[in-house]
Amino acid sequence: MDREFDAIVLGGGPAGLTAGIYLARARVRTLIVDTGTVGGQMVLSYAIANYPGAPDVTGRDLSRAMRRQAESFGCTVLPLADVTALELDGPVKAVEVADEGRFTARAVILAPGGVPRKLGIPSEAAFEGLGISYCATCDGDFFTGKDIVVIGGGNSALEEAVALTKYASSVTIVHEFDHFQAQPWAVAEAEHNPKIRFLMAQEVREFVGDGSLAEVVVASKHDGAITRIPASGAFLFIGYVPNTRFLEGVVDLTPRGEIVTDDALRTNLPGVLAAGDARAKRYRQITTAVADGTVAALETVAFLNAPPAA
């Protein structure tokens, strides 16, 4: 495998794969390094209904297609990489990967995305994989004919709740507020689904079961009344946390850990750009990640083609 590239992209979600497509098509020798299986959060989504031109695509199929497209232009993709060291401040950037060695490039695009946020209550960890899930695509099928709970009130929660009714016999959506943050169409779709019921203004207190999940215990935020919801599954869609711990002290981050960029998606370090959910921005979707990947790649090409500073 080559060691020297023109650009290295850290993260193979929609932002990183799109950057790879644009870079490789511009004849920029590009390596995409992903600590996971490539595809990012797209593979967590059962069905993606809002990606233009592909109305019925699954997250897995879309991520496979993006990876194929990047590789078809000559991009090298390294999945399941254990990134052990990063040097981003000099003119030659270096990324060290366990068992693979050191890769260098003149430019780096940071596209590490995020991971689903957790509630953080002790019983949540105890039932992870034993009823608690963050991925409808991965685990929905296990709950065929069962009663489940979906926790959250944004677009992801409501869309995934509707998708999960293909398997579950009932879905109770538990939300912390009296109103949803989701778009009205997502709320209407869930409200019209006969398998879905809503429990609003609830705090999740505990997950209970003997070996596997049996009940979700919630308390009303109005009067503290406890409701015990019988459920063999609980799917949590309550936001995301940026994957940027490894960038602390390396590039400028916001207090929430998001990468700070300018309009051209440049970070504070020359030749280091950022794209996708991990950077500070308002809307996080596949389309916005793809747009970021495009901008970051085009800016990288401009950076690589610019005459060296005198």
Ligand X SMILES: Cc1cc2nc3c(=O)[nH]c(=O)nc-3n(C[C@H](O)[C@H](O)[C@H](O)COP(=O)(O)OP(=O)(O)OC[C@H]3O[C@@H](n4cnc5c(N)ncnc54)[C@H](O)[C@@H]3O)c2cc1C
Question: Which residues here bind ligand X, judged by CB under 6 A?
Answer: 10-16, 33-36, 38, 40-42, 44-45, 48, 50, 83, 111-114, 116, 156, 159-160, 237, 243, 246, 276-277, 284-287, 289
Q: Residue 156 or 215: which CB sits closer to ligand X?
A: 156
Minimum Å gap between C-beta 224 and ligand X is 30
**For residues 106 and 273, what is the distance between their CA atoms, to the nearest angstrom?**
12
Q: Residue 271 or 293: which CB sits closer to ligand X?
A: 293
**For residues 158 and 161, what is the distance between their CA atoms, to the nearest angstrom?**
5
Minimum Å gap between C-beta 126 and ligand X is 22
DSSP 122-137: HHHHHHBTTTEES-HH
Output DSSP code: residue 253: B
Stated as kind and residue range, the H or E segment containing 221 is none
Beta strand 202-210 with 196-199 is: unpaired
Minimum Å gap between C-beta 223 and ligand X is 32
Give yes or no for a contact between 137 and 60, defined as CB atoms under 8 angstroms apart.
Answer: yes
Give yes or no for a contact between 204 and 119, defined as CB atoms under 8 angstroms apart.
Answer: yes
Q: Residue 50 or 181: which CB sits closer to ligand X?
A: 50
Taking alpha carbons only, the member of 11, 9, 83, 81 closest to residue 42 is 11
Minimum Å gap between C-beta 131 and ligand X is 17
Minimum Å gap between C-beta 12 and ligand X is 5
Q: Residue 34 or 215: which CB sits closer to ligand X?
A: 34
Q: Residue 114 or 215: which CB sits closer to ligand X?
A: 114
Give yes or no for a contact between 285 and 51, defined as CB atoms under 8 angstroms apart.
Answer: no
Q: Can you say whether residue 249 is alpha, beta or left, with left for phi > 0 and alpha for psi between -120 and 50 degrees?
A: left
Q: Residue 239 or 270: which CB sits closer to ligand X?
A: 239
**For residues 261 and 295, what is the distance between their CA atoms, to the nearest angstrom?**
12
| Planar angle of CA 240, 125, 148, nearest 5 degrees | 75
Q: Residue 60 or 221: which CB sits closer to ligand X?
A: 60
Minimum Å gap between C-beta 144 and ligand X is 19
Residue 114 pairs in a beta bridge with: 242
Minimum Å gap between C-beta 9 and ligand X is 8
Residues in Cβ contact with 283 at an 8 Å cutoff, skipping those fewer than 6 apart:
none
Minimum Å gap between C-beta 135 and ligand X is 6
Q: Residue 150 or 231: which CB sits closer to ligand X?
A: 150
* CB-count exposure of residue 79 (10 Å: 0-12, 13-18, 19+): middle
